[in-house]
Amino acid sequence: MPLPAPIQQELSVGTFNVFAYMPAMPGIAYRVLFELLGTQQNGGLCLVTEEALAAQLGVHRSMAGRGLQSLIHARMVFREARGTYRLNPMLAGGRTFEEHLEAIRDLDPEDRLDVDHFQDRYDRAVAEASIARQRRNKGRAKASSAPDTRRERTVAEADVVSITTARRRPRRQPS
């Protein structure tokens, strides 16, 4: 499904010198960013699903998701809800210069893009996300390998023994 046509709201101002501070990200992140820049609504609002973004870019949904995730780690895009993203005010276009400057003034200093430690901040966010993902995966692995504490039925207790129950029983030793 292609991206919806942007609402024609004369977005005429923006300060795009922040591109000088962009971190080294995967190539898909730049493609996603440029697509979002071209379809944004007033205030940098982008209403798009990963599926629609992937279709527009001609890539798999997971690739579009990776690009979005990289932009989120870089604080260039903020996820507001499923299918609702907002460009950092330093990238977003505005209708007037005053409106644009006000959005930048209201920006949390931690979210500014024109800082010298931009690459370090991005690398740290990516590393923290990787550690969190490893912890989640490790937790899932432990949960799936937890010992089965259900009491096994004996043949006398049940008329039919399932194959999985039979496989868990120790084999009889030959006499």
**123-175 pLDDT tens trace:** 999 999 999 989 888 887 777 665 555 555 554 444 444 444 545 555 556 65
pLDDT computed for residue 85 by the predictor: 96
- Domain at 16-115, CATH from 1.10.1760.20, 1.10.10.10, 2.40.30.10, 1.10.645.10: 1.10.10.10
- pTM score: 0.69
Q: Copy the structure tokens of residue 161.
A: 């023994």
Q: Copy the structure tokens of residue 90.
A: 């330093």
Q: Which residues of 142-161 are buried (b: 16+ CB within 10 A; e: fewer)?
A: eeeeeeeeeeeeeeeeeeee
Per domain, the residue ranges of the chain are 16-115
